[in-house]
Chain A
Amino acid sequence: EPEVTQTPSHQVTQMGQEVILRCVPISNHLYFYWYRQILGQKVEFLVSFYNNEISEKSEIFDDQFSVERPDGSNFTLKIRSTKLEDSAMYFCASESPGSYGYTFGSGTRLTVV
């Protein structure tokens, strides 16, 4: 069964450093998303992306965040200057037109120290 692949599975970074989280969505999917889940909290929407541009973003997705689809397969989330409160599981998801529901990746656990 097709999968959404995320790398790395765990990243530890120092506060103030830049991180890039990588995702390979399912190949025929057109809609891409990032969500995050702080430990013990709800899964929260960050951003949606279609046709090489952001469609919607939450208030969490401030100027420190950016997304990119640099080629036909990868979808990245960059955090420019990480804060302690950015520590969370970050999930990439993709969706094909006419489908029901997303397919999520296994997530990247980001720990900011």
Chain B
Amino acid sequence: QKEVEQDPGPLSVPEGAIVSLNCTYSNSAFQYFMWYRQYSRKGPELLMYTYSSGNKEDGRFTAQVDKSSKYISLFIRDSQPSDSATYLCAMSASSGYSTLTFGKGTMLLVSP
């Protein structure tokens, strides 16, 4: 079983839709969870960082963690064409100076 699983998509939605992106993981040592956005041929850009089960909101983005189910989600409200990118989940066993394990990324396409 792969450590971090993420549906690669593509996920196509109309502008204004609510988007749900998800990852599952198998390693219970993972305690810190991140979502990165990656535009084509660019480096990953950190969007959200969470470390406890529950929800964390930042503007149009909400990150949700369920450690009991080993399942994390990123919700994007009022999606915009500029949100079109690949979204990577990443996780680590410790905070600060730690190795990240990434999902494969989900490609999101938001059409005007």
Contact = CB atoms under 8 A, between A and B. Distances in A.
Q: Is the interface of B mostly helix, strand, loop or mixed?
A: loop
B97 A91 contact: no
Q: Is the interface of A mostly helix, strand, loop or mixed?
A: strand
A98 B99 contact: no
Q: Interface size bucket, A side?
A: 20 to 34
Contact of A100 (B45, B95, B103): B95
Interface string A84-110: 000001010101011111111111010
Nearest to B43: A104
B34 A42 contact: no
Nearest to B102: A43
A10 B36 CA distance: 23
A95 B90 CA distance: 15
Interface string A39-71: 001111100101000011000000000000000
A55 B46 contact: no
A105 B42 CA distance: 8
B100 A50 contact: no
Interface string B1-36: 000100000000000000000000000000000101
A95 B96 contact: yes
Interface of A: 4, 6, 31, 35, 41-45, 48, 50, 55-56, 89, 91, 93, 95, 97-107, 109
